[in-house]
């Protein structure tokens, strides 16, 4: 029982990292309708930007800000430079998906070229764990969990109560109708990329902190777990993404107690496949009129 609770504790940490990244992926999918295969690279670049900043100024907070800034810049770059030239011509969604795959390969290998393939630890990781109720956390892990919850709350407020949030939901729901209603959809889409790029960059930074090291394929390998969580929750649905992240994160870590932890990702992918086959609409479905 005690070990099970410990496993759930680890699961909450993984779920927190996962939630930040998954909500970003889901929001971004909502407005572009393209599963972004380069989302993992937003995380990788964020993590490496944090590493560079931390080496320069030795400050974890500034490192986190560097991760966020790098994610923003790269997100906008993908939107403007990669998708931009294709948006004017009507291209198939699958073509855009292949484009993000190409972007993912390029960015991953640019990182490999600059930083090399070896694992590099992010300063500020680790720390001694202490008891918190039945769980065992380091202070840093507690900060990450609180951070994730705060971001989820902020996203909720943003989507529900701000003009940008309402416009964002309108574009995600029905692009032509949103445009006809006077919403500047190009601007909304670009701002969504800024927001989700920032979240992905930050997620890369906390991923680097919790797993202890950065390597060029870190985001790419984490990406499929993010997809698992997003699809489990119903892709394009931020609230579903939160639920999906929690389920996948906790299941992965709890499974590591019973079978070899090498199979952790396998468990996540089996969940993904089951989710797609059994409940393709996701855990949380939008309340929409039957006609939609």
Q: Which of 101/175 has CB closer to another protein?
A: 101
Q: How far is the CB of 225 from another protein (least distance, A)?
A: 10
Spatial separation of the C-alpha atoms in residues 216 and 90, rounded to whole Å: 33
Q: What DSSP letter does each residue of 219-283 carry, written as one string?
A: HHHHHHHHHHHHHHH-TT-HHHHHHHHHHHHHHHHHHHHHS-GGGHHHHHHHHHHHHHHH-TT-S
Sign of the Cα torsion 254, 45, 104, 84 reads: positive
Spatial separation of the C-alpha atoms in residues 216 and 45, rounded to whole Å: 9
Residue that the structure tokens 């990406």 belong to: 223
Residue among 88, 90, 182, 277 that touches another protein (CB under 8 A): 277
Q: How far is the CB of 228 from another protein (least distance, A)?
A: 7
Asked if 84 touches another protein (CB under 8 A), the answer is no
Residue among 4, 57, 61, 110 that touches another protein (CB under 8 A): 110
Asked if 116 touches another protein (CB under 8 A), the answer is yes
Asked if 120 touches another protein (CB under 8 A), the answer is no
Spatial separation of the C-alpha atoms in residues 160 and 157, rounded to whole Å: 5
Q: How far is the CB of 101 from another protein (least distance, A)?
A: 6
Asked if 103 touches another protein (CB under 8 A), the answer is yes
Asked if 82 touches another protein (CB under 8 A), the answer is yes
Residue among 6, 8, 112, 194 that touches another protein (CB under 8 A): 112
Q: How far is the CB of 116 from another protein (least distance, A)?
A: 6
The closest alpha carbon to 65, from 76, 54, 79, 77, belongs to 54
Phi, psi of 64 (to 5 degrees): -65, -40
Site for another protein in 3-62 (CB under 8 A): 34-35
Asked if 77 touches another protein (CB under 8 A), the answer is no
The token pair that represents 60 in the structure block: 């974890």
Number of shown-chain residues binding another protein (CB under 8 A): 40
Spatial separation of the C-alpha atoms in residues 124 and 176, rounded to whole Å: 47
With residue 132 as reference, give the H or E element that holds it.
strand 130-132
C-beta separation of 17 from 229 below 8 A: no
Distances (CA, A) of 46 to 39, 41, 190, 197, 210: 11, 8, 19, 9, 14
Q: How far is the CB of 148 from another protein (least distance, A)?
A: 24
The window from 9-17, 96-104, 144-152, 206-214 that contacts another protein (CB under 8 A) reads 96-104
Asked if 88 touches another protein (CB under 8 A), the answer is no
Residue among 262, 287, 289, 291 that touches another protein (CB under 8 A): 262
Q: How far is the CB of 20 from another protein (least distance, A)?
A: 20
Residues that bind another protein (CB under 8 A): 34-35, 82, 85-86, 91, 93-95, 97-99, 101-103, 105-106, 108-110, 112-113, 116-117, 224, 227-228, 231, 260, 262-263, 265-266, 269-270, 272-273, 276-277, 280
């Amino acid at each position: 029982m005690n070990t099970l609770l410990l496993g759930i504790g680890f699961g909450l940490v993984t779920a927190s990292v996962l939630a930040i990244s998954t909500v970003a992926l889901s929001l971004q999918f909502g407005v572009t309708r393209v599963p972004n295969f380069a989302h993992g690279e937003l995380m990788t670049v964020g993590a490496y930007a944090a590493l560079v900043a931390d080496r320069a100024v030795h400050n974890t907070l500034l490192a986190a800000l560097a991760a966020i800034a790098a994610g923003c810049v790269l997100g906008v770059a993908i939107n403007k430079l990669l998708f931009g030239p294709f948006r004017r011509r009507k291209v198939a969604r699958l073509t855009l998906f292949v484009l993000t795959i190409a972007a993912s390969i390029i960015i991953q290998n640019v990182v490999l070229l600059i930083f090399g393939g070896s694992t590099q630890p992010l300063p500020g990781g680790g720390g001694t764990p202490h008891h918190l109720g039945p769980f065992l956390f380091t202070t840093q892990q507690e900060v990450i969990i609180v951070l994730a919850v705060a971001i989820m709350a902020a996203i909720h407020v943003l989507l529900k109560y701000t003009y940008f949030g309402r416009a964002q939901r309108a574009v995600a729901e029905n692009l032509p109708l949103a445009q006809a209603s006077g919403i500047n959809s190009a601007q909304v889409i670009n701002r969504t990329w800024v927001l989700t790029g920032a979240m992905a960059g930050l997620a890369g930074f906390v991923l680097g902190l919790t797993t202890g090291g950065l390597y060029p394929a870190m985001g790419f390998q984490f990406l499929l777990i993010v997809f698992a969580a997003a699809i489990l929750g119903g892709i394009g649905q931020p609230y579903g993404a939160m639920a999906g992240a929690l389920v996948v994160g906790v299941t992965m870590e709890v499974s590591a107690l019973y079978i070899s932890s090498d199979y952790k990702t396998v468990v996540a992918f089996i969940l993904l496949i089951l989710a797609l086959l059994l409940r393709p609409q996701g855990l949380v479905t939008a309340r929409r009129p039957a006609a939609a």
